[in-house]
């Protein structure tokens, strides 16, 4: 009989314990994980990317927007046979240079802040575009010439790929001006560009700083 007297008390304790256990376990919710596709690494932000976005796969400097030089400019007079092409965000000037049989070369004029890596780096960049090996510091003086005109000094380079049906040539000129560097580059079929060299050098002599009123 004594056991039956305490039965309601033990039953109440068991019910209370069950309620407490249920109350505790009801808050144990597992943390959700961000969805990730198999084999896909987590994206990381790149300080050089716009607004901290991760860079696109395979992106290179050629695909990256580069600011053009601001401030004082240059002016020039192009040869009569050169045809003006539509301007673009990256070019200060653009011309098509026609040749025989429908051949055509491209004349680009660009300008960027600073020295853009220096003369050696830029000459080697052009050499790479016609599949030539890079030069060393000691090789550079013998690989370029200079044109001084109108207070400007151009470093001029004439380079061509190996002879063949698809041989290409670049006539390029680099001139520091104000706080930037300007590039005048004629590129196209070897024979056409080589034939335009006198016109290109004469063209450089027309380049003058813009005079402000």
Q: What is the pLDDT of residue 88?
A: 85
What is the rounded distance in angstroms from the CA atom of residue 115 to the CA atom of residue 131?
Answer: 24
Q: 97: how many CB neighbours lie within 10 A of its CB?
A: 23
More confident site: 4 or 211:
211
What is the rounded distance in angstroms from the CA atom of residue 213 to the CA atom of residue 66?
Answer: 30
Mean pLDDT of 150-165: 92
| Tens-digit pLDDT profile for residues 11-61 | 544 444 444 444 433 333 333 333 322 332 332 222 222 233 233 333 332
Run of H or E residues at 194: helix 190-195
Judge whether residue 124 has pLDDT over 90. Answer: yes
Percent over 90 (pLDDT), the chain: 59
What is the rounded distance in angstroms from the CA atom of residue 89 to the CA atom of residue 108?
Answer: 12
| Tens-digit pLDDT profile for residues 168-185 | 999 999 999 999 999 999
Judge whether residue 166 has pLDDT over 90. Answer: no
| Tens-digit pLDDT profile for residues 63-117 | 334 455 666 799 999 999 999 998 788 999 999 999 999 999 999 999 999 999 9
pTM for this model (two decimals)? 0.68
Do residues 94 and 125 lie in contact, with contact meaning Cβ atoms separated by under 8 Å?
no
């Amino acid at each position: 009989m004594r056991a039956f007297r305490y039965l309601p008390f033990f039953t109440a304790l068991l019910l209370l314990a069950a309620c407490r256990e249920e109350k505790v376990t009801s808050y144990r919710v597992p943390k959700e994980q961000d969805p990730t596709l198999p084999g896909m690494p987590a994206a990381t932000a790149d300080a050089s990317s716009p607004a901290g976005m991760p860079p696109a796969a395979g992106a290179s400097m050629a695909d990256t927007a580069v600011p053009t030089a601001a401030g004082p400019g240059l002016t020039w007079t192009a040869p009569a046979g050169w045809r003006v092409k539509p301007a673009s965000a990256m070019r200060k000037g653009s011309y098509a240079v026609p040749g025989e049989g429908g051949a055509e070369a491209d004349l680009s004029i660009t300008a960027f802040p600073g020295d853009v890596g220096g003369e050696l780096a830029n000459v080697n960049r052009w050499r790479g575009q016609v599949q030539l090996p890079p030069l060393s510091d000691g090789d550079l003086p013998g690989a370029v010439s200079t044109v001084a005109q109108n207070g400007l000094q151009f470093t001029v380079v004439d380079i061509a790929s190996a002879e063949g049906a698809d041989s290409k040539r670049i006539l390029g000129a680099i001139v520091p001006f104000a706080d930037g560097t300007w590039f005048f580059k004629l590129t196209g079929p070897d024979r056409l560009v080589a034939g335009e060299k006198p016109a290109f050098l004469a063209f450089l002599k027309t380049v003058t700083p813009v005079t402000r009123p």
